[in-house]
Structure 1
Amino acid sequence: MNFLTILPMAVVMVAGTQLVAAVFLASGDRPRRASLGFLTGAAIVVVVGTTLAWLVFRVIKGAAGGGGRSPVETAIDWVVLGLLVVLAVVVFVRRHSSGEPKWMGRLQHAGFGYALRLGLLLFVVMPSDDLTMVTVGASAARHGLSWWHLVPFMLLTLLLLALPLLALLLLGDRADRTLPRMRDWADRHSWIISEAVVVFFLALTVVDLLR
C-alpha cells in the first residue's frame, strides 16, 4: 500500500453534505471569504483527525515490535475492515438523505468566521468523515507509511472541497449555471462513488488479511 492507494478515500470525505455546503458558500454574498473559512475549518479537522489516527495506530504497532507479520498488524487489518464495513453501511443508509437542510439557508450570508466554525463542526460530527480519517490513518500506520504519505490525501480532500470556489473564480458568470448542477449531483449521486471507493479499499484490506 502507498499514498496512491488511500487517495480515493478523499472522495468519501467530501461527498454529499460537505460539497453541497461548499457550493452554497461559493454562491453566497461573500463567496471568497466564506469558502476560505470553510476550507480552513475542514483542513484543521482533516489534518488533526488523520494524524491522530495515524499516531495512535503507529504507537500500537510499534509497541508490538518483532519482525514479520505480527498479531497486532493482523488485528489492525481487522479493525480497518470493520471500520470500512461500518462506513459502507453509513454511506448506504444516508443515500436517501438528499435535500437541503434548513440551516443551509443561512450560508447565503455567511462570513469567514461562521464558515470556519461550520467547516470544523461539519467534518467532526459527520460519522462518514470520522470513520474515513481513522481508516486512512490506521491503514497508513499498519503498512509503515510515514506521515507525509497522508499529505496527498489531505490535499486532495481540500482540493475537491474547493471545486465550487475554483468554478466561481474560473468561470465567472457561467458559475451561476455550473454550481447548482454541481450541488444537485453531489446531493443525489455522490453516495454511489463513495460506496465504490469504500468497496475498493475494503477489497485491498481483505487481500492483506489473506496474505
Structure 2
Amino acid sequence: MDGINVLPLAVTMMVGPQIMSAIIFVTAPRAVRVSAGFLAGVALATTIGTAITFSIASVFNLGDPGDSGSSGSIVQYVLVGLLALAAIKNWVRRETVEPPKWLGTLMSAGPKTAFKTGLFVIFLMPSDIVVMLTVGVNLAQANANFAEALPFIATTVLVAALPLLFFLLFHHRAVAAMPRVRDWMDTHSWLVNIVVCVIFIILIL
C-alpha cells in the first residue's frame, strides 16, 4: 500500500464508537487490562477482516489501478456513493443521532468483554468494512501480498491504543480529560460520522 494513505485509513477505522470505546475503557476500573483486551480484539478483527477482503478481491480480475474503468475502480466508486449517502443521512438526522446505547455498558466491562468489543467494533461497523474492502482491492489491483497490509493493521492498532498511551504517560491529566472527550463525542457523534465519511471519500478519490 501507499504509505501516505496508511495513517488516514487507520484513523478512519477508529473514529466514532471505536475510539469512544477505547476512551471508556481507560476510565474504567482495571483500565490497563481491559484496554489490552480491547486492543487484542481490534488487532485480530482488523487482521482477519483485511485478509478476507484481500482474498475475495484477489479472486477477481480488478484491472489496472490507474484505469478509471477497471472493475476495482468501479467498486471504489460504489463505495464512495455509499459513503456520500451515509454522510447525508447523518446530516439530515443530526438533531436525533445518538451514540450506540451499548457504549454505556462498557464502564463495567472486564478484559473478555473488552476483547469482544474490539472484535465487534471492527467487524460490525460499516465504515470499517468499507475501509478494509478498499485496502483489499488496492492490494489485489497492485498484485501485492498480504504482508503489505501489515503497516495498515499496525497503525490501526496504534490509533486504537492512543487513549491507553495517554493514560499511561499522563495518568492524572488523562483521568480528568478522557470523560470530557467522551462526553463531547457523545453529543457530536453525527459530526464525527460525517467527518469520517468525507475523509474516506477523499482518500478513495
TM-score by length of 1: 0.81
> Once the 2 structures are TM-superposed, how far is the Cα of residue 99 of structure 1 from its aligned partner?
4.3
CA distance in 1, matches of 2:154, 2:98: 28
Matches within 5 A, 1:16-35: 16-35=16-35
Go from structure 1 to structure 2 and tell me whether the alpha carbon gap of 1:46 and 1:74 turns closer, same or farther (over 3 Å shift).
Answer: same
Q: Which has the higher helix share?
A: 1
CA distance in 1, matches of 2:151, 2:18: 19
1:38 maps to 38
Contact 1:49–1:133 under 8 Å retained in 2: yes
Matches within 5 A, 1:155-170: 155-170=154-169
2:173 maps to 174
- What do residues 28-53 of structure 1 show as CA deviations (whole Å, max 9, x unaligned)? 01111111111111111110111111
**Could you tell me the percent identity over the aligned residues?**
32
- What do residues 159-196 of structure 1 show as CA deviations (whole Å, max 9, x unaligned)? 11111111110001111222124324544243354234
> Once the 2 structures are TM-superposed, how far is the Cα of residue 88 of structure 1 from its aligned partner?
3.5
CA distance in 2, matches of 1:90, 1:192: 8
Q: Aligned partner of 2:110: which letter?
A: G
Matches within 5 A, 1:6-155: 6-61=6-61, 74-94=70-90, 96=94, 99-155=98-154
SS at match of 1:53: helix
> Once the 2 structures are TM-superposed, how far is the Cα of residue 69 of structure 1 from its aligned partner?
7.9
Unaligned residue ranges in structure 1 (runs of 5+)? 204-211
CA distance in 2, matches of 1:69, 1:194: 24
TM-score by length of 2: 0.84
2:200 to 195, 198, 203: 198
Unaligned residue ranges in structure 2 (runs of 5+)? none
**Root-mean-square deviation (CA), in Å?**
2.6
Contact 2:23–2:182 under 8 Å retained in 1: yes
Go from structure 1 to structure 2 and tell me whether the alpha carbon gap of 1:167 and 1:105 turns closer, same or farther (over 3 Å shift).
Answer: same
Contact 2:61–2:71 under 8 Å retained in 1: no
SS at match of 1:114: helix
SS at match of 2:28: coil
Go from structure 1 to structure 2 and tell me whether the alpha carbon gap of 1:69 and 1:117 turns closer, same or farther (over 3 Å shift).
Answer: closer
> Once the 2 structures are TM-superposed, how far is the Cα of residue 6 of structure 1 from its aligned partner?
4.3
> Once the 2 structures are TM-superposed, how far is the Cα of residue 58 of structure 1 from its aligned partner?
1.8
**Count of aligned positions:** 198
CA distance in 2, matches of 1:102, 1:191: 16
Which range moves more in the overlay, 190-199 or 121-130? Answer: 190-199
- What do residues 147-168 of structure 1 show as CA deviations (whole Å, max 9, x unaligned)? 2221111111111111111111
